[in-house]
Amino acid sequence: MVILALAWLCAFSARTNTLTLGPVLPLIQKDLGMSYAESGLLFSIPVVMMGLFAIPSGLIIARLGVKWVLLLSLAILGAGGGLRATTTNVPAMFVFTALAGIGIGLVQPVLPRLVKDWFAQRTGTMTGVYSNGFVVGALAATTLTVPVLLPAFGALTWRGPFLLWSAVVWATALAWLFVPGQRHREKESLRPFGRIFRNRLAWIVSGVFFTQTVMFYILNAWLVNYYQSFGWSLGQAASTLGALTAGSVIGGSGGPMASDRWGRRPLLLVSALLSIVGVLGLLFVPEQVYWLWPFIMGVSLSALFTVSLVIPVDVAPPDEVGAFSGLMMAVGYSGVLGGPAVIGWMRDVSGTHVWGVLTLLAMCFVQLGLVLQTPETAPRLRPGSVQEA
């Protein structure tokens, strides 16, 4: 249980240090004089770093083991996250945000491998437990930042939350120092990293992961601004992020567990359809039952995220889990560079968020097409092996 609790804290820290940026982005824009396009780029940087360093994380795991990759990644994340609070200019904010993103990029592929090594008989349930940390971290970042943390830190304003979540990262790293090394520690071959690029399923799942990740980060970057464009106050608009994250609690925690019972593919299909419903609501009736549309998006995107994390554990041998997860995250997170930044550029040029919402709708249909190509991978439900390239 200690291992699982610390894995949960790693997931929690990955989200708090990323998504705290959304609620305070208007304040950072004002303090540092950032344009909408620069702000979108700032939000994209950590996610791009997650993609770029996902595959290197798998390579380091093969050589050093899970524990040492966790310690390295948490140290980098804690440093970058905390240093953001000290910056007074845009370039420094970009650099420290990138450093935090590198730490997250290294830590996330470790977690599926940890499940494979320690909880191989309960992959869906255990993935649901630790990935709840992603959900709760997102909930804490989006719902506590404006009403609780900003008043609590007073004159520090947006800098205070960055310091707080950095401290949690350092505490987690300290706890990992007292945990024994990886259970099955031996030097592994790097050949799985060549095989995985020829695996058709790995690319399909990477595509699903790409669409949900880009959509999730677009919403976290611009949902508050979208509702402020209707004349809402910052506090009122930030409540939509709370609805998004509340939905994520249900989808993120319940998705993998439900997929153990009903299968991975049905959960992915229902989630993709819910994404379409949520975006249509944001487009046509955003202020009517305003909480419902981000809530639906939270359920669908978080379920897609966590069920995707289970698939490499389902189908890959232990020495290939890191490679599969790394490819999936590399594709998914690297694509975010073209998400929030492009939506911000559209807003700068057109003066409206409508084109951004239409872009989300197009991505929903791409996502649905990829899900329809995904076979069932749950061990007790799949008709045969799906590990072949």
Distances (CA, A) of 373 to 89, 224, 256: 46, 34, 19
pLDDT for residue 383: 60
pLDDT score recorded for residue 94 = 94
Lookup: tokens for 107: 């830590």
Q: Is the pTM of this model over 0.85?
A: no
- Can you say whether residue 378 is alpha, beta or left, with left for phi > 0 and alpha for psi between -120 and 50 degrees? beta
For residue 387, the model assigns a pLDDT of: 43
Q: Give, in order, the Cα–Cα distances in Å from 177 to each of 185, 208, 212.
A: 16, 35, 34
User: If one looks up domain 2-178+190-372 in CATH, what number appears?
Assistant: 1.20.1250.20
Task: Determine the Cα–Cα distance for residues 126 and 311; give it in Å rounded to an integer.
Answer: 13
pLDDT band at 43 (very low <50, low <70, confident <90, very high): confident
Quote the mean pLDDT of the chain. Answer: 85
Q: Residue 40 and residue 63: Cα distance in Å, rounded?
A: 36
C-alpha 92/C-alpha 137 separation (Å) is 25
Average pLDDT over residues 324-342: 80
Examine the pLDDT at 388 and tell me if it is beyond 60: no
In the predicted structure, residue 251 carries a pLDDT above the cut 80: yes
> What residue ranges do the domains of the chain occupy?
2-178+190-372
